[in-house]
Amino acid sequence: MRRGAGLTAWAAAALLVAAVAGAQPVITLDPALGEFPEGVAIDKPGNIWVTVQPLCEVRRYTSRGDELMRVRLVGDTCIGAGGLAVDATGVAYAAVLTSSAATRGVYVIHPDGEFHRIDDTGQIAYPNALVFDHNKGVLYVTDMDLGAVWRVGLGGVDLWVQHPLLVGTVPPPPPFPPTQRLGANGIALRHGALFVAVSFAPRIVRIAIDDDGSAATPQMLVPPPAFVSRGVFFLDGLQLDVHGNLFVASPNLPGIVKLTAEDLALSVLAGPPEGVTAPPLSLVFGTGKGARKDLFVTVNQSFGGVGNGVVRVPAGTPGLPLP
């Protein structure tokens, strides 16, 4: 998601309750320096990786928020660095959107700051979110423009699935052009199926992975009316806990929405009263001792509200472990 118009003014007042509510600041970025967070991932030792847009930077912090590393992936062609994923060895993968296919795609970033772009990922029109499938040995990447999921592996880069359910069906708010349709966004994997959050109109789509690695026909899991009836008009990042509960970032609330595994009942886990006072974009479960039941969420005040960085939100249940 790129920078857009402001949200409502009540977020400033809601910030006053943050000290006694659920969300606790972990990393603070400086808007005056053009630092706006997008993606977030946590490695096994508990270090926090963050993409910073529109600088096209990837940064790594300790669990206490001390900066360890900073790299700039792209120069003048950068539009923004998006989603992040970290593998079991501590290597990060970032989705990067630029104005050129020569620099757009998925970047691999090592803990020492060395990085490179994966060949042929420039064909992904709008790379956004990523998730590993260690059983198949591949990385799945959502494409917001094409309404698609790409697969990246040793066999190369291929368009894994493209389907109308993954396409944005209503115009996004400014500054996006009214002709653009923002589709497949956040992505998660559990029990041989991918779950994709579609931005506009908001919905969750489930895609089973067949035994041969191909995509089954996408199925609507949560339709737009279920979200819109609760005031949720825009979905971004997506995570699953060990029980199959879904956690989705909703920038327009702003807040984190939970959908139960049993009946997909929707509730707001954290919003302004709980200290989420700027639009959340991405979220990830903690990995370290005492952190697995918490979500680490990027909040981005370039879209309005108050707060800019990473906050920690109690989820009450542990997330899926790293592959």
Residue 243 contacts by C-beta under 8 Å, 6 or more apart in sequence?
261, 317
**Which residue ranges make up each domain of the chain?**
10-314
- Looking at residue 1, what is its pLDDT? 52
pLDDT in tens, 25-84: 999 999 999 999 999 999 999 999 999 999 999 999 999 999 999 999 999 899 999 999
Summarize the confidence of residues 290-311 as an average pLDDT. Answer: 95
Which residues, in sequence order, are bridge partners of residue 140?
A: 131, 151
- Looking at residue 13, what is its pLDDT? 38
Tokens representing 287 are 């990995």
- Looking at residue 175, what is its pLDDT? 76
Task: Provide the pairing of β-strand 115-117 with 92-98.
Answer: unpaired
Backbone φ and ψ of 165, nearest 5°: -65, -20
Count of helices and strands (H, E) across the chain: 2, 24
**pLDDT above 50 for 12:** no
The secondary structure of 111-167, three-state, reads: CCCCEEECCCHHHCCCEEEEEEECCCCEEEEEECCCCEEEEEECCEEEEEEECHHHC
Strand order in the sheet with 156-162: 127-133, 138-143, 148-153, 156-162
Specify the DSSP element, H or E, that contains 226. Answer: helix 224-228
Confidence of residue 221 (pLDDT cuts 50, 70, 90): very high
What does the alpha-carbon distance between residue 150 and residue 138 come to, in Å, rounded to a whole number? 10
Averaged confidence pLDDT in the chain:
92
Q: Residue 73 to residues 56, 81, 174: CA-CA distances in angstroms?
A: 6, 8, 27
Q: Taking the mean position of all CA atoms in its chain, how far away is CA 59?
A: 16
Which residues, in sequence order, are bridge partners of residue 141?
A: 130, 150
Confidence of residue 21 (pLDDT cuts 50, 70, 90): very low
pLDDT in tens, 238-289: 999 999 999 999 999 999 999 999 999 999 999 999 999 999 999 999 998 8
Q: What is the secondary structure of 259-311 as a DSSP string?
A: E-TTT--EEEEE-GGGT--S-EEEEEE--STTTTTEEEEEE-GGGSSS--EEE
* Residue 314 three-state SS: strand
- Looking at residue 249, what is its pLDDT? 98
What does the alpha-carbon distance between residue 70 and residue 90 come to, in Å, rounded to a whole number? 15
**Cα–Cα–Cα angle for 311, 313, 314, rounded to 5 degrees:** 155
Confidence of residue 158 (pLDDT cuts 50, 70, 90): very high
Name the CATH superfamily for 10-314: TolB, C-terminal domain (2.120.10.30)
- Looking at residue 321, what is its pLDDT? 82
Percent of the chain with pLDDT over 70: 93
